[in-house]
Amino acid sequence: MIQDIAPWKLRIEFEPHEPAPGDFVFDFTREGLLLRQGESLSFPTLEEWRKLPASGEGAQLIYAFRLEHEEEAGREMRFFLALRRTDSDIPAPEGWERLPARALWGYGWGWPAFAGITAFHLFNWYSTRRFCGRCGTPARPGGKERSMVCPQCGTVEYPSIPPSVLVAVRDGERLLLTRYNRPGTPRYVLVAGYVEAGETAEQAAAREVMEETGVRIRNLRYLGSQPWGLSGTLSLAFAAELDGPDTITWDREELAEACWVDRKDVPPVPNEESITMKIISAFRNGEW
């Protein structure tokens, strides 16, 4: 999956320090992440970024995270986020391009894709917390922890990571698959949705399956989790069995289709970078 980046390991601990030569900069604008033009994902170093026209204007560099090499002690890469006071359009200079974060996954790019998507999660959070949500005063990044602090009323906000659930519902040799009613999402996925206030993850799973497809489930079993920075969520994946009638009545506003698919008819997945695709692929291969 996209977070499996061995031999690198994401160290998300907040360890603020001054950016130094060789550190990398994530520079997001409305048009996307600044990358070197080419076949791979390559981010500007601090020195390169500072030389690019307009890049440093009004931007504050905030420590994001580092990647640590698990086999070579001391080998690491450190990453900073460029934050500006407003969302801006800064065209990519010659030799560079801007790519939307959603274009980073699905191509087997390894650690740069996971780093870029995790940076996108942090960038989105920072850039929607520029003002205190309680009193409206411009907020400042916290110095000791990853937070935004209001200098007026003292409100402290921490990165938001809403949990969402994914549910793989089985009826014997059939899997319940859905397709979203949105352009650009042709492939089958699993039932998914956000956990609501006051709900357990298990209750959210049962509710989402009922709302999207009209069937009941039993024997819910936790499969695993995945950070999904594109939506800023943590996905909690479950397997479940059909409980009762198999008649599907799908939510036509949200879904283009919901159906039972025989194991032998489950189409191959385009990649296994998301936990959804990993689970569908494992069912197709008879692993569960």
Residues that bind Zn ion (CB under 5 A): 132, 134-135, 137, 150, 152-153, 155
- Nearer to Zn ion by Cβ, of 152 and 200: the residue is 152
The owner of tokens 């500006």 is 84
Strands of the sheet containing 140-141, edge to edge, are: 140-141, 148-149, 156-157
DSSP character string of 56-70: TTT-EEEEEEEEEES
Least gap, CB of 124 to Zn ion (angstroms) = 21
- Nearer to Zn ion by Cβ, of 155 and 225: the residue is 155
- Nearer to Zn ion by Cβ, of 155 and 231: the residue is 155
Token code pair at residue 162: 């809403």
Least gap, CB of 58 to Zn ion (angstroms) = 23
Strands of the sheet containing 96-99, edge to edge, are: 28-29, 32-36, 96-99
Handedness of CA 143, 149, 154, 156 (dihedral sign): negative
- Nearer to Zn ion by Cβ, of 150 and 269: the residue is 150
Q: How far apart are CA 158 and CA 190, in angstroms?
A: 30
Contacts (Cβ under 8 Å, ≥6 apart) of 16: 63, 143, 144
Least gap, CB of 134 to Zn ion (angstroms) = 5
Token code pair at residue 150: 């209001």
Tell me if 101 sits within 8 A of 230, measured CB to CB. yes
Least gap, CB of 63 to Zn ion (angstroms) = 23
Least gap, CB of 156 to Zn ion (angstroms) = 10
- Nearer to Zn ion by Cβ, of 107 and 158: the residue is 158
- Nearer to Zn ion by Cβ, of 11 and 134: the residue is 134
Least gap, CB of 140 to Zn ion (angstroms) = 11
Contacts (Cβ under 8 Å, ≥6 apart) of 70: 6, 7, 8, 9
- Nearer to Zn ion by Cβ, of 140 and 207: the residue is 140
Least gap, CB of 148 to Zn ion (angstroms) = 10
Q: How far apart are CA 5 and CA 119, in angstroms?
A: 15
The backbone torsions φ and ψ at residue 229, rounded to the nearest 5 degrees and listed phi first, read -65, -25
